[in-house]
Structure 1
Amino acid sequence: MKNRYKLGEDDRHLFRESIAGARPLVQDKIAPPKPKLKKPVPPTRRLIQEQVDASFYFSDEFQPLLSDEGPARYVRPDVSQYEVKKLRRGDYTPELFLDLHGLTQAQAKQELGALIAACRREHVHCACVMHGHGKHILKQQTPLWLAQHPDVQGFHQAPKPFGGDAALLVLIGLEE
């Protein structure tokens, strides 16, 4: 590299005088400490117990009597039929959504239980469960599982904006 700035003799002498007592810095080569990674916070026992309790209601052997005609729908006997009609029309807007795409049946049961527990905990009255089309396994099983749970007041095939025939709108009964 070329010497761009040529100093005169006076300037060089002045510079050498100003750095006369300086010594080179010693490099310690000490690496800075690594930041400690925070351990993931395990879910509280209460949340885990809620999931286990909620998934307890789902059985593969029990087959509730559901209509084969038309869209998937169900209403508990002590709930007004008008509630299912309101679900069908889209009067209820779901506040929580659950996507079951790519899950096994066991995982789907656990997630359904967690959704119902979350709805009760957060005081959510309507939720949307998206089971998809696929091989129709979850599409067939999801209504059967939901009909078994005592906190589910009813469900109906979702309107187009919420997934159409690949999803269900679910009404959750809240404690008074």
Structure 2
Amino acid sequence: MARRRTLRPEEADLWQAVARTTRAMHSPAPPSPHLPLEPAPVAPPAPKAEPRLTPFRLGERPLPQPPAAKPQPALRMDARTHDRMLRGKLAPDSRIDLHGMTLAQAHGELIHFILNAQSSGHRLVLVITGKGRIVHDPLPRPMGALRHQVPHWLRLSPLAQAVQQVEQANLKHGGAGALYVYLRRR
């Protein structure tokens, strides 16, 4: 490491001359051109702010942070059946594929399918929406209109009275492109 050198006398005199001609950047008023400049008063140091984080030393382990709680939708069905459904152990009683339909067509077909399935005594049905196509835009947009719209339709009347639980399907039954719809008994 290099040693710091001391100023020679002529360098110290030059430094003092420069220091006498300076003023603070945020002085209250500009000096008058007819008066000699006075050295600016030195402001006291600002009080030290409290650190928001605890100090960390090399070799220490960080304190464990509690995981952020992800809000879980209310479970409205038997927990064991729900677990079996999510693991793909329950086979759907019937299924509908909404691929290629417009939103208006799909809405009508979904209402007809869900109400008929409930009246037939089916409990678990599979609604295939598809994942939607990937759009490479600079702005984030939802991909797949049906994928985002179908869960809303299932919470609205007349389907809300028939639907007990809606979950994303297991990979075995379509994964993110399909929904399990668990129906209420009539």
Q: How does 1:96-135 map to 2 (within 5 A)?
A: 96-134=94-132, 135=143
The corresponding residue for 1:39 is none
Q: Distance in 1 between matches of 2:75 and 2:155?
A: 8
Q: Distance in 1 between matches of 2:147 and 2:89?
A: 23
- SS state of the match for residue 97, structure 1? strand
- SS state of the match for residue 179, structure 2? strand
How far does the alpha carbon of each residue in 1:32-51 deviate from its partner, in whole angstroms, 9 at most, with x for none?
xxxxxxxxxxxxxxxxxxxx
Q: How many percent identity over aligned positions?
A: 30
Shift of residue 91, structure 1, vs aligned partner: 3.1
The corresponding residue for 1:141 is 149
Compared with structure 1, are the counterparts of its residues 85 and 74 closer, same or farther at alpha carbon in structure 2 (3 Å cutoff)? Answer: farther
Question: Structure 1, unaligned stretches of length 5 or more?
Answer: 1-68
Q: Which among 140, 160, 163 is matched to residue 171 of structure 2?
A: 160
One-letter code of the match for 1:95? Answer: D
Whether contact under 8 Å (1:87, 1:155) holds in the other structure is no
Q: How does 1:1-150 map to 2 (within 5 A)?
A: 77=76, 79-80=77-78, 82-134=80-132, 135-148=143-156, 149-150=160-161
The corresponding residue for 1:3 is none
Q: Across the two proteins, how many residue pairs are aligned to each other?
A: 104
One-letter code of the match for 2:169? Answer: A
One-letter code of the match for 1:146? Answer: L
Structure number with greater CO (CA < 8 Å, separation at least 6) is 1
More helix by share: 1
Whether contact under 8 Å (1:74, 1:156) holds in the other structure is no
- SS state of the match for residue 142, structure 1? helix
Compared with structure 1, are the counterparts of its residues 92 and 164 closer, same or farther at alpha carbon in structure 2 (3 Å cutoff)? Answer: same
- SS state of the match for residue 154, structure 2? helix
Shift of residue 86, structure 1, vs aligned partner: 3.0
Question: Structure 2, unaligned stretches of length 5 or more?
Answer: 1-69, 133-142
Compared with structure 1, are the counterparts of its residues 160 and 96 closer, same or farther at alpha carbon in structure 2 (3 Å cutoff)? Answer: same
Q: TM-score, length-normalised on structure 2?
A: 0.50
Q: Distance in 1 between matches of 2:184 and 2:118?
A: 8
How far does the alpha carbon of each residue in 1:138-167 deviate from its partner, in whole angstroms, 9 at most, with x for none?
111111111231110001111112111100
One-letter code of the match for 1:88? Answer: L
* Cα RMSD (Å): 2.3
